[in-house]
Amino acid sequence: MQQKIIILDFGSQTTQLIGRRVRELDTFCEILPYNKYPVGNDDDVIGVILSGSPYSVHDPEAFKVDLSQFAGRIPVLGICYGAQFISHTLGGRVEKADSREYGRANLQTVDTTNPLFKGFDQHSQVWMSHGDTITAIPDGFHCIASTKDVKYAAYAKSYEPKANSQGVFAVQFHPEVYHTLQGKQLLKNFVVDICGSRQEWSAASFVESTVATLRFQLGNDRVILGLSGGVDSSVAAVLLNKAIGSHLTCIFVDHGMLRKNEFQQVMDDYKVLGLNVIGVDASEKFFADLAGVTEPEQKRKIIGRDFVEVFNAEAKKITDAKWLAQGTIYPDRIESLNITGKVIKSHHNVGGLPKEMHLQLCEPLKWLFKDEVRRVGRQLQMPEHLITRHPFPGPGLAVRILGDITREKVRILQDADDIYIRGLREYVDTDGETLYNKVWQAGAILLSTVRSVGVMGDERTYENPVALRAVTSTDAMTADWAHLPYDFLAKVSNEIINKVRGVNRVCYDISSKPPATIEWE
């Protein structure tokens, strides 16, 4: 039986981060909507975490859960809204704070005898983010941490051996964010010490169990996998190849808006990996259908539609196929449907299959976060340059060109982007790490709807600016602009302007997400 922590999602932006922190403790976890606790099917659940929420517990539409389903039987940790919900539900009091408590705070009194705070410093920094505050805790609970402004920064009802009752713990701060300096220690105390995790979840165990499961599930059936050249689909392909070998056929569609020379480079990589890959150059169709289209969402829809048409046409040639494999990872599935069931963001590899294909769906990475996918890739001994590839949008450079798409614009952007990405790979920072490996995602954007005046030689030019974008992130839910060295930016800017015909100005995007997005379109 595989142990797991259930994280009930009340809509917090950092719920995925809680999950990643638990996985970092070599413990499997599952993020579920607040109202989907697996009642009657929780023998493998060793603990429950209640996330934060954008709501106040007093809001009429606030999300609620029946705590009696698990509280007292399984250790529970409430975070922020989760802590306030426990207090509010069990007879405590939650009131509007005099001022919103947001940002860094220091714990002033900490009960280090409580197992949740084992190893904690007395004045440890934490991160607060709430408009309400707990002014009274339920009977039977006791305060275990305070700050200058928050009396009940943490409270608990400890384990009672004679009553065979498990503890309930609650913190009004966010241990999952890096601003809470000992947050990882707190989560380790809860997951490992209090819940009793055996810490058996690892890349090696995942590969072993998944390969065995795939062999049993797929048998001798033929499987088709759509490759993108990215980390997720590549790792999924190698994992499936290890399980079923020649019964896997991969299809790699080139829509003409990949990075410079990327199609051939990726095909060469897949050949080295021993994968059976069909490469399809469908660029003529994509450019024809995109001609004159400027609206970003329409561009995405056309590319998505055309990709499905091209992929299906190739897939139908494999008449004995019974499965369609995808590189869907856990954040894809969490993002695609929020806890109210409304679509937040459409993903190219999440959704219904064409009914006429009559294929079953196989998603071998569906429980993994991006960093776990990379660890699995290393476990499978894949080349490091494939594992560390930055995320790249499904529509490719089409969403990095403002305005309509032409081959000439793609050529300009490919050349500029190639100089930028090569520069990131070659520049070694003062700590010995390349800039490419220090950022989450990077790329160039062609501002083709803007013309910029410049001077080259003795001539006046009127050409396009290029914006460079690089962000740091852990999961792309939030991102900060990367503080790249000035000498690097100066060198790249100079090289792009001198070598890329059609560009006379280079800018650097210093917007964070939120409010900006990582991609411009």
In order, the DSSP letters of 424-482 are HHH-B-TTS-BHHHHSSEEEEEE-TT--EEEEETTEEEEEEEEEEEEEE-SSSSSBEE-
Q: Of the residues 174, 247, 255, 348, which is catalytic?
A: 174
Pick from 178-182, 216-220, 236-240: least confident: 178-182
Q: What local confidence, expressed as pLDDT, does residue 349 receive?
A: 46
Q: Is the dihedral of CA 434, 379, 22, 341 positive or negative?
A: positive
Catalytic annotation on 80? yes
For residue 462, is pLDDT > 70? yes
Residue type, 349: N
pLDDT value, residue 347: 43
Backbone torsions φ then ψ of 436, nearest 5 degrees: -60, -45
Cβ–Cβ < 8 Å for 70, 82: no
What type of residue is 418? Answer: D
Question: Averaged over 142-162, what is the pLDDT?
Answer: 86
pLDDT of residue 173: 95
Confidence of residue 58 (pLDDT cuts 50, 70, 90): very high
Looking at residue 16, its pLDDT comes to: 87
How far apart, in Å, are the Cα atoms of 469 and each of 67, 411, 481, 483?
45, 18, 8, 11
**For 70-120, how does the pLDDT look when each residue is reduced to its tens digit (9 = 90+)?**
998 999 999 999 999 999 999 999 998 776 667 889 998 899 999 999 999
- Phi, psi at residue 287, to the nearest 5°? -65, -40
> Average pLDDT, stretch 459-472?
89
Report yes or no: 225 and 61 within 8 Å, Cβ to Cβ: no
Does residue 47 register a pLDDT over 90? yes
So what's the pLDDT on residue 461?
Answer: 76
My answer on whether omega of the bond before 514 falls inside 30° of 0, hence cis, is yes
Considering 80, 195, 250, 362, which one is annotated as catalytic? 80
Rounded Cα distance between 53 and 35, Å, is 14
Predicted local distance difference test score (pLDDT) of residue 340: 46
Q: Determine how many CB atoms are found less than 10 A away from the CB of residue 258.
A: 22
Q: What share of the chain has pLDDT > 70, as a percent? A: 92
For residue 353, pLDDT over 60 is answered with no
pLDDT at 291: 96
- Alpha-carbon span 349 to 326, nearest angstrom: 6
Instruction: Report whether pLDDT(337) > 50.
Output: no
Phi, psi of 144 (to 5 degrees): -125, -5
Give the pair of three-digit tokens for residue 65: 């859960």
Return the pLDDT at 308. Answer: 87
Q: What is the mean pLDDT of residues 442-448?
A: 96
Q: CA-to-CA distance for 67 and 56, rounded, in angstroms? A: 17
State the distance between the two ends of the chain, measured CA to CA, in whole angstroms. Answer: 45
Q: Check residue 81 and give its pLDDT.
A: 95
Confidence of residue 213 (pLDDT cuts 50, 70, 90): very high
Look at residue 39 in the predicted model and tell me its pLDDT.
Answer: 84
- The mean pLDDT value of the chain amounts to 89
Query: What pLDDT, on a 0 to 100 scale, did the predictor assign at position 164?
Result: 55
The pLDDT score that the predictor gives to residue 477 is 67
Identify which of 328, 317, 315 has the alpha carbon closest to the alpha carbon of residue 224.
315
What is the model's pLDDT at position 245?
Answer: 95
Nearest CA among 433, 516, 409 for reference residue 469: 516
pLDDT, residue 486, reads 96
Output the pLDDT for position 343. 37
Question: Whole-angstrom Cα distance, residue 208 to residue 395?
Answer: 34
**pLDDT(350) > 70:** no
pLDDT at 172 > cutoff 90:
yes
How is residue 166 written in tokens? 């498990």
186 compared with 456, residue with greater pLDDT: 186
Structure tokens at 480: 């900060």
Highest mean pLDDT out of 152-161, 438-447, 477-486: 438-447
> DSSP readout, 239-268?
HHHHHHGGGEEEEEEE-S-SSTTHHHHHHH
Q: What is the pLDDT of residue 375?
A: 94
Q: What angle do CA 331, 277, 444 make, to 5 degrees?
A: 55
What the block records as the tokens of 223 is: 């499987």
Contact 506, 497 (CB under 8 A): yes
| pLDDT per residue as tens digits for the range 413-437 | 999 999 999 999 999 988 999 999 9
Catalytic residue among 101, 176, 372, 463: 176
Residue 516: predicted pLDDT: 86
How many Cα atoms sit within 13 Å of 467 on the Cβ side?
Answer: 19
Token pair in block for residue 266: 């990726």
**Is 176 an annotated catalytic residue?**
yes
CA distance 218 to 247: 9
Structure tokens at 521: 């379109």
Residue bearing the bigger pLDDT, 461 or 518: 518
Cβ partners under 8 Å of residue 450, min gap 6: 402, 464, 465
If you average pLDDT over residues 328-344, what whole number do you get?
A: 60
**477 vs 278: which has the higher pLDDT:** 278
Which helix (H) or strand (E) covers residue 100, if one does? Answer: strand 93-110
Confidence of residue 339 (pLDDT cuts 50, 70, 90): low
Comparing C-alpha atoms, which of 440, 344, 388, 328 is closest to residue 15? 344
pLDDT > 80? residue 459:
no
Q: What is the amino acid identity at position 269? A: D
User: What's the rounded Cα separation, in Å, for the pair 342 and 133?
Assistant: 30
**Plot region of 219 (φ>0 → left; ψ -120 to 50 → alpha; else → beta):** left
pLDDT over 90, % of the chain: 71
Provide the residue type at 198 as one letter.
R
Give the whole-angstrom CA distance, residue 521 versus residue 513: 14
> What pLDDT score does 356 carry?
58
CA–CA dist 50, 75 (Å, integer): 11
- What is the structure's pLDDT at 8? 96
Tell me which residue of 494, 390, 407, 402 sits closest to 443, measured CA to CA.
390
157 and 115 in contact (C-beta within 8 Å)? Answer: no
pLDDT band at 57 (very low <50, low <70, confident <90, very high): very high
Split at pLDDT 50, 70, 90, the class of 352 is very low
pLDDT class for 163, splitting at 50, 70, 90?
Answer: low
